[in-house]
Structure 1
Amino acid sequence: MGYGINTKKSKKKIYGYTPPLGLGMLARVAKDYGCDVTVNDAGPLGDDFESLIRKIVEFKPDIVGFSVFTANFAQAVESVRLVREHPALRDTLVVIGGPHVYTFREKTLADIPADVAVYGEAEADLIELLEFYDGTRASLEEVNGLFFRSEQGIVQTQETHSSRSLDHFGFPDWDQFDFSLYRNIPGQIRRYPMTSMVTSRGCPFRCNFCFQAGRFADKYRRYSPELVIDEIQRLQSRYGIREIQFWDDIFFINKKWVETFCRLIQEKKIDITWSGYARVDLISPELLRMARDSGCWNIFYGFETGTQEMLDFLEKKATLEQAVNASRWTREAGIISRGSFMLGLPNETPELGEKTIDFAIQLDPDYANFNIFFPEPGTGLYDLAVQSGRMLSGEYLGRSVPVYLPDGYQSIDQIRDLQKKAFRRFYFRPSYIAKRISRIRSWSEIGQYVDGAMMLLSMNKPKIPFAFATESSKTGQKGRNVF
C-alpha cells in the first residue's frame, strides 16, 4: 500500500521515527476487504529509491499508494515517476493521498503522474476504489472523494463520508509495523517498545497558522475512551507496548473524556506510560494530577509566542497568564512539559522574537522547540504570506529554513540567527544544565542528552536540499520517509 524513501546514508542511530498510522489504517481497510497488503516504512528500514522500486516489483502490486505531505512533495513526485516508468509496473494503479492532496486538490495530479488522488476520508473512499477495481462499481465517478484523469481532463467526485464516527473505522493494522524500529527523538520516550496513537481527528479551534484550522479543516471527532482503552490492552498483550505517544492535535480537549480515560487505566490496572498535547486554557491542577496517576509523564504545549499582541494576532484564544499557570501546575504535578514557540511570524520583529525567547526562559519548560514559521497551505497566514509577495519558496525546507520573510526582518539570516540564539539561550543556561544533570537516573539518559546536544550544535551545518516527513512531522526531524 505505501512505500517510502530514506535519503540518509549514515548507519548511525537515528531518532524521530514512529509508526505511520495513516498507512496502517488503510492497510487494515484493504486487508479486511480481502487484499494482500504491505506497508513499507522506508525511513527506519533504510530504503532508497532503488530499493523502493525493487520491493514494489517483487511484491507485484495491483495498487501502489503514496501519502503526500508538502514536506515530502519532491520525493513523492520522484517515487511516482519511477513507478510509472518501470516496465513491470505499467498496469499498476498509482494512488496518492495525504495532507498535500487534501490542500492542493486537483493541482496535485497536475504535478504528480499518479492515476488517482484521494482527497476525502480515505478509509471509506478506499473501499469504494477497491470495488471499482474489482468491477462492482461501474466507474471512478461512483467513488467518493477522488480526483482522477479522464480524456476530458481531471475529474472530481463528491465526498460524503467526512461525518462518520471514528468508532466506525477501527484502528491501524499494527501487524504491519516492526516496533523495534521506532525510537523517538532524545528524551521523549521513557520505555520501549513504544507506539504513537491517535484518538481524534480535527480540531475545533481556529488558530490562523494551523493546517487543522484551515479552510479544509476536518470535523472534530473522537473515539470513545472505552474503545481506546481496549486497543491499548490489545497493543500490550500482542506487541508488548509499554508507552504511547498520543498524536491528537489536542489530547486534553475534553475534560470528561480525559477523566474517563484516566479512570479506566487505573481501574483496569494498565501499566502504561503516555504523553499528549494540551492547550494552556484547558488544563487544571486536578486534571493534571489525574493524568499523572494514570501514567502521563509528558505534556506538549503550543505556547507559540511571548507577547499577548502576537497571541491575539494568531487567534490562539489564550493568554500569557494561562501559559504561566499551565507551566506551574504541570511542574507541580510532577509532569514533564515541552513547549513549542515560533519565530519569523508575520507582524513579528526581531524585538518581538527576543520577547518570545525571554518568555520561554520565564516559563522554563523541561524542553523547548523554536521553529521558524512555515506558512501552512490552506491557512489564513499562508494567504497573508502569499499576498505580501515575501514568500521565498513554496517548498518545505525544514523548520530551520525560512521560506517567508516578514516585513519586520531584513534577511532570512536574521531569522535563522535568532533561532540559533533561542536554542542556545534556553538550553545552555547553567541552571538548566544543572537541573537536567540532577535528574539523570541511567546511562541511557546520558546518551540521549549527548545526542540532543549534538543535534543543537549541528544547527550551523549546511542544510540538506529538502526536509521531509511522515505523520510524525511534529518531531521536526529531517531526512524522513515518504509514502
Structure 2
Amino acid sequence: MNLVATNSFLNSLQPNALAGVKATLINMPIREQAKPNNPPVGPALLAARLREFGAEPTIIDLNIYRIKDEDAARRGLETGRSLTFAEARGLIGRTLEKAGGQHLIGLSGLITTLRWQTEVAKIVRDLDPDAMLVSGGGLATQFRADLLNWIPELDAVAHSEGDDIVVKIALDAKAMRDKGFERALNAGLLSPFYRETKDGRPRFVYHGGRPANLDSLPLPAYDLMQEDVDGFKVLEEYLNVPVWGGSAKNSSATSFEIKRSISTVSSRGCPFECKFCFRGAQGERNYGVRSAENLATEFIEYQNRYGVDFIGLMDDNFMVSPKRISALADILEPYAASGQLRWGAHGRLDEAADLRPDRKGGYRSADVLRVREMRRAGCIYIGFGAESASPQVLEDMGKGGFMLSSGTEVYNGFEFPRAMTQGIRNTLEAGIHGNCTWIMGYPGETLEQLQTSLGFIKWQQDLVTEGLVAGTPDHDDAMASINTSIFTATAYPGTEMFRHPRVRATLGDVFNLKFDRKSGQPVGDENFRQYVLELNDATKMITNESGRPLNFSSLSDDEFVHVREKLDAQDHDAVLGM
C-alpha cells in the first residue's frame, strides 16, 4: 500500500470506522537530568487522528515524572529522577485497569529509548497480552524490522510518519480481535503489512507516509493529558516548565522569561542534508509545511485555552519559506503588537543573514528580511543549529553551501562565515534572541577548528554586551543569554556521519561493531544493541566498559577527555589557551 493508496483508503472510511477500538499510546522518558518541557506532540497527534475515526485513545506519558528522593539526590539529579521500571509498571497497570482491555498499545520514543521500550514491552505484554503491541517513532523508524528481534514482545513496528498509518494499524487490531487472526488474514484485511508469524504471534512492519494535507490534521489531543490515572496534572506540569531557557536546563538559553509555554510543529521533513542528523521519523528530505493560516489558528487556540505566554515550534526549518513568514506576520501582527502573543522557532543562520550577491562582487541584504517579518509576527526567539564556526568543519558536516556562499570575515584571528555573523546581527537588530547550539568532536575536527567555535561564542558575547557595564544586571543577563554549552558529536545509526570511515573504524575499535561489506550496514548483533543502549541526547561523552571514549576527532583520547571536562566546567578559556 503506497502513499496514494493509503490516502485513498482513508478517504473511503466512515467517521465511526474505529468505533469501540481502544488504543493506548505510551511515551518514553528522556533526558532525566532536566525537567520535561515539551508535551509529547507525536502521541498527541496520533491520538487525535484515531479519535477522528471513533476510537477511544489514552495517553500514558512516562516522561513527565521527576521524583525527588534520596536516590535522586545521590545521583545529583536536582529536578528529580525518572520513574523506576517498577513504578512505571504500577502506573501502566492502574491506567489499563481503568481503561479496560486494549485493542492497540503503541510505544513511542527517540532512538535513545531502546532500554525503556524493551522493559515497557515486557510490562505491557504481561498486563494486556491480547493487545496488539507496536513500536513507532524515532527508534522504530531507524531499526524497523530489526527491532522485532531486539524486542520480541512486539507485534509490529511502524516507521516514518504515523498520522495515516496509525488508522490502518488500529483497523488491523480491530479485525484480529473481531474475526481472529486467520480469518482476518484470509479475508485480506491485514494486507499488505503482515510479515510473518513467529512464536505463535503475527508480525507486521508498517510503512508510514506523509498525509496529503498537513492542514487537514486535527490539533494534538493534549486534552488527554489533563491528568493521569492518579490525578497528577500532567499537562499543567508541562505548561509551567519553559520550552526553552535557563530554568529548562537545556542548550537553549534565552534573554527573556517564559512563564507558561506549549510546543508544536510547523513543518515535516528537511530540505537539507546535514550528515549528523537523522530525520527519518519526520519525513526525511520530503519537506512539507503547514500554512500560515493553520499555524495562526493553533497559536490563538493555545493562548485562549491554556493561557500560554510563549509557543515553541520544535521543527528545525521554520524559516525556509519567506512567503509563509510574511503571511503569518499579516495575520498575527495585531496580537504581537499588543504583546499578547510570543513564540519561537528554529532556522539557519544563512536564512537570518538573507544575503544576496551584488553586481560589484559583494553582498547585499534581501529587500525584506525574514527575521524582521518574524518579529512582526511576534517571534522573540530563534534557535540556530550553528554546530561549528569552522568553515572546513561545516563543509565536512554538509552544512557548507549557503552558509559559506557569502564568504568569511575575521575576528580576533578567527575566520567566521559571514552568513553566521550577519545572521546573528540581523536577528539581534530585529529584536529577536538568537540562540546557537554547538557540536565538538566531529570526525576529523582539530583543536584549532574547535577553538574557532569557541571564538564565535566570545564574539557573540562581545556583540550583545557592547555598551553595557560589567557587573550590572543588564550585562549579566546578556551574558547568560548566550549558550555556552557544547554537545559531543554522536554517531546515530542511519545518518551519513555513521557511514564515515573514521566513525566506522572507531566504532569497531571501541564497541566492536561490525559492518556488512556489501551493504555497509552495521551487523545487528549484541554489540550493536549495546551501543544503541549507550546513546543519549548528545549531552554526554560515550565510553565503553573500559572507559575508553568514543572520539572521532583528530584529538588524542586524552586530549579529547581533557577538552570535554573543561567544556563541561564552562572553562572555555582553558581550551582556547591549549
Partners of 1:402 and 1:55 lie apart in 2 by 36
In structure 2, the partner of 1:362 is 459
Percent of aligned positions that are identical: 21
Q: Which segment drifts farther, 108-117 or 382-391?
A: 382-391
| Residues 113, 139 of structure 2: 8 Å contact kept | no
Residue from 373, 386, 396 that aligns with 2:535: 396
Q: Distance in 1 between the 2:345 and 2:316 partners?
A: 9
Residue 52 (str. 1) matches residue 83 (str. 2)? no
Report 1 or 2 for greater relative contact order, CA contacts < 8 Å, sequence distance ≥ 6: 1
Q: In structure 1, how many angstroms separate the alpha carbons of the residues matched to 2:555 and 2:292?
A: 46
2:167 aligned with 1:127: yes
Which residue matches 2:555? 409
The residue type paired with residue 551 of structure 2 is L
Change (3 A) 1:216 1:267: closer
Aligned to 2:197: 150
Seen in structure 2, the aligned counterparts of structure 1 residues 79 and 245 have a Cα distance that, compared at 3 Å, is same
Indicate how the Cα distance of structure 1 residues 5 and 219 shifts in structure 2: closer, same or farther if over 3 A, else same.
closer
**Residue 181 (structure 1) aligned with residue 237 (structure 2):** yes
Of 20, 26, 32, which aligns to 1:3? Answer: 26
Distance 1:376 1:170, change over 3 A: same
Deviation of 1:328 after TM superposition, in Å, equals 1.5
Say if 1:118 and 1:147, in contact at 8 Å, map to a contact too.
no
| 1:249 counterpart = 2:307 | no
- 1:83-482 aligned at under 5 Å gives the runs 83-86=124-127, 89-112=128-151, 113-135=153-175, 138-139=184-185, 146=193, 149-151=196-198, 159=207, 161-162=209-210, 164-178=212-226, 179-182=235-238, 183-184=241-242, 185=248, 188=254, 190-212=257-279, 217-267=284-334, 271-283=340-352, 284=354, 286-316=369-399, 317=401, 318-319=403-404, 320-364=417-461, 366-384=482-500, 385-388=503-506, 389-390=508-509, 392=511, 393-394=531-532, 395-398=534-537, 399-402=539-542, 404-406=550-552, 408-411=554-557, 414-422=559-567, 424-425=569-570
Instruction: Tell me the CA shift for residue 151 of structure 1.
Output: 4.3
Q: How many Å separate the matches in 1 of 2:204 and 2:348? A: 37
- Contact 1:372/1:415 (CA < 8 Å) preserved in 2? no
Q: How far off its partner does 1:26 sit?
A: 0.8
Contact 1:390 1:406 in 2 (8 A): no
CA drift at 1:391: 5.1
CA contact (8 A) 1:68 1:99 kept: yes
> Does the aligned pair in 1 maintain the 2:436–2:483 contact within 8 Å?
yes
Whole-angstrom distance in 1 between the partners of 2:281 and 2:173: 33
Task: Name the amino acid aligned to 1:234.
Answer: E
CA distance in 2, matches of 1:17, 1:146: 35
Over the aligned positions, Cα root-mean-square deviation in angstroms equals 3.2
Name the amino acid aligned to 2:542. Answer: P
Contact 2:350–2:419, Cα closer than 8 Å, also in 1: yes
Q: 1:249 to 1:164 in 2, by over 3 A?
A: same
- Cα deviation 1:90-116 (Å, max 9, x = unaligned): 212211101111111100111112111
Give the distance between the partners of 2:489 and 2:571, measured in 1 at CA: 19
Q: TM-score, normalised by structure 2?
A: 0.66
Tell me, yes or no, if structure 1 residue 68 matches structure 2 residue 109: yes
TM-score with structure 1 setting the length: 0.79
TM superposition shift of 1:426: 7.0
Structure 2 unaligned residues grouped into runs of 5+: 1-23, 67-82, 227-234, 243-247, 355-364, 405-416, 462-480, 512-530, 544-549
DSSP 3-state at the match of 1:171? coil
The structural deviation recorded for 1:3 is: 2.5
Q: CA deviation at 1:156?
A: 5.9
SS of the residue 2:487 aligns to: strand
State how far apart, in whole Å, the 1-side matches of 2:374 and 2:282 are.
33
Residue pair 2:155, 2:203 contacting (<8 A) in 1 also: no
Bigger Cα Rg: 2
Q: Who is 1:36 aligned against? A: 56
